[in-house]
Amino acid sequence: MLAALLVVLPIFGLVLVGFAARKGGIIDEAAGAGLSQFVFAIALPCLILDTLARGDLPIAEPWGYWASYFVALGLVWLATGLLARHAFGRIGVETVVAGFSSAQSNTVLIGVPLILKAFGDAAAVPVFLLVAVHLPITMSVATLLVEGRGASILAIVRKLVTHPIIIGIAIGAAIRPVADVVPEPAWRMTGMLADAAAPAALVAMGVALARYGFEAGWPLPIAITTAKLVVHPLLVWLLASFVFPVPPAWIPVAVMFAACPAGINVFLLAQTYRSGVALASSTVALSTALAVLTMAGWLALVAP
C-alpha cells in the first residue's frame, strides 16, 4: 500500500499544481491548451520515437503474453464505448474517449515504477514487452477511430500520415536499425523533450480539471474507472492463466500493468479534438485517486 501511495502521490500532486495555478489566476486556459498541444505534437511523439528506436527488444516474441493483454484491452474498450453510447447517450469522439479511458494504462508514471519495485529486476523484460507496444498501439487505434468517422479512406490516410503520434512511431521504427550512428546530442535533445511529456501533460490536465471539474457527472466516470481498475486486470488474469500460454512469472506483471489508472494520453486526445475533455479529466483524476487502493489489492492477490 505504501509503495503504491508513494508512486501515485507525486502524480496527483502535479495535477493539483495545474489546478491551483488555474484557480489562482497564475495561468489561463489558453496556456493549459498550449501546454497540451506541445505535449501531443512534440513531447509525446519524441517519447514514442525514443522508446521504439533505442529500447532493448528481447529475442523471443511472446505472442501469448501480448494476446492476453491486448485481447482483454480490446474487450474492455469495446464494452465501455458501447456503454457510453447506449446507456449514457455519448456520441462521436466522446465514445472513443470513454473506451480509450478504460483501456489505456498510465504505464510510464505509475506502472513501470510500481511493478519494478514490487517484482524486482525479473520484471524488466515483461514490463518492456508491454511498454514497447502499448502506447503506439492504443494511440494509433484511438487516432484511427477519431479520424475515421465520416471521412474518405484517402482523407483518413492523409490525416494519419501527418499525425504527430504516427510520425513518431514511423520515425522511431525507421531509425532503430541505425540508432547507434545518430549523434548523441540529437538523442539528448529528443530525451529532454520526451522527459517533458509526463509532467507537462499532468499540469495541463489540472488546468482542464479546474475548468471542467466533474461536469461529466459521476456515473460514467465511475463506470469507466471500474472497468479500468477492476475489469481490465481481471480479464488479463483470466486470459493469461487459462487461455493463452504465458510464463507464470509474467502473469502478475501483465495484471498490474492492466490495473494502472487511466493514462494521461486519454486527456491529451480529448483536448486535441476538443471533445470529451471533461470526461477524460474526470476519469483520469478519479481512477488515479482510487488506484492507490485497487493496485494494492491486486498486488496482494497476484504477488508470488
Q: Provide the number of structural domains found in the chain.
A: 1
C-alpha cell at 189: 535533445
Phi, psi of 14 (to 5 degrees): -70, -35
| pLDDT given for residue 289 in this prediction | 82
Phi, psi of 25 (to 5 degrees): 75, 15
Give the pTM. Answer: 0.76
Which residues are CB-neighbours of 112 under 8 A, at least 6 positions away? 127, 131
Residue 105 per-residue DSSP state: B
Give dist(CA 17, CA 205) in Å, integer: 10
Nearest to 100 by CA among 124, 116, 82, 80: 80
| pLDDT given for residue 81 in this prediction | 95
Beta bridge mates, 262: 105
Give dist(CA 296, CA 259) in Å, integer: 10
| pLDDT given for residue 164 in this prediction | 83
What is the biggest distance separating any 2 CA atoms in the chain, rounded to whole angstroms?
54
Three-state secondary structure call for residue 91: coil
CB 234 within 8 A of CB 256: no
Which residues are CB-neighbours of 177 under 8 A, at least 6 positions away? none
Cα 158 to chain centroid distance, Å, stands at 25
For 112, the domain range is 2-302
C-alpha neighbours within 13 Å on the C-beta side of residue 110: 30
CATH number for the domain harbouring residue 249:
1.20.1530.20
pLDDT in tens, 154-166: 766 776 677 787 7
Q: Is the dihedral of CA 205, 80, 143, 233 positive or negative?
A: positive
Which residues are CB-neighbours of 143 under 8 A, at least 6 positions away? 160, 163, 165, 166, 269
| pLDDT given for residue 232 in this prediction | 97
Q: At what angle do helices 277-302 and 264-273 cross, to 10 degrees?
A: 170
| pLDDT given for residue 233 in this prediction | 97
Three-state secondary structure call for residue 262: strand
| pLDDT given for residue 71 in this prediction | 97
Cα 25 to chain centroid distance, Å, stands at 29
Give dist(CA 286, CA 271) in Å, integer: 18
Planar angle of CA 69, 75, 81, nearest 5 degrees = 130
Residue for grid cell 540508432 = 179
Per-residue pLDDT of the chain in tens (304 residues, 90 and over written 9):
666 667 667 777 888 898 899 999 998 888 888 888 888 789 888 887 887 788 766 555 689 999 999 999 999 999 999 999 999 999 889 999 999 999 999 877 677 777 877 888 778 778 878 877 887 788 888 888 887 766 566 766 776 677 787 788 889 889 989 999 999 999 999 999 988 887 887 888 788 778 766 666 789 999 999 999 999 999 999 999 999 999 998 999 999 999 998 987 888 888 888 888 889 988 988 888 888 889 888 988 887 7
Give dist(CA 52, CA 38) in Å, integer: 20
CB 69 within 8 A of CB 258: yes
Dihedral of CA atoms 99, 142, 107, 286 in degrees, nearest 10, equals -40
| pLDDT given for residue 156 in this prediction | 65
Q: How many Cβ atoms from other residues are within 10 Å of residue 177's Cβ? A: 9
Residue 129 per-residue DSSP state: H
